[in-house]
Amino acid sequence: MMNILFVIGSLVYGGAETQVMALAKALVLKGHNVTIYSTTDRVPRIRELEGSGVVVVVGSKRYECDIKMIRRLRQYIDNNDIDIVQGFLFEGDFYSRLATVGKRIPLINSERNWNYILPFIQKIGHILTRPRAVAGPLAHGA
């Protein structure tokens, strides 16, 4: 059994969000503990997870790079003995990368959008944090 943390910007009606929810439910059925951590309070689909065993944590990010959100996410990882973190889309990738700096747990990032242009500040954030995902424990066969 693993403690798995999925980090995503919201649980709105999109393809990535649908896949995250389906994957989380399937992993719970396999006996794992799964938390979906939304960095914003945009979670209109939260009721779809009721009774599934998936834990949902609703964040309250206030800025593009909210240091308090990073601290809360790091604290959640520490307090819940998380075994692996997976970020989804830019928001989840960015925050999962920063929250796991210095932690010896595997980090996976999943970007499934391909046809959009990141604003300049997001592009810089992505470039600066990308090595965390690439150089993480999984990249070295751990």
Domains of the chain: 3-140 (3.40.50.2000)
User: Which tokens hold the place of 10?
Assistant: 């919201």
Q: Is the pLDDT confidence value at 136 over 60? A: no
pLDDT in tens, 99-111: 999 898 999 887 6
Report pLDDT for 61: 80
Tokens of 95: 């925050």
What are the CA-CA distances from residue 67 to residues 17, 35, 47 (Å)?
24, 21, 29
Q: Write down the pLDDT at residue 134.
A: 53
Write down the pLDDT at residue 22.
97
Tens digit of each residue's pLDDT (9 = 90 or more) over 35-94: 999 999 999 999 999 999 999 999 888 777 788 999 999 999 999 999 999 999 888 988
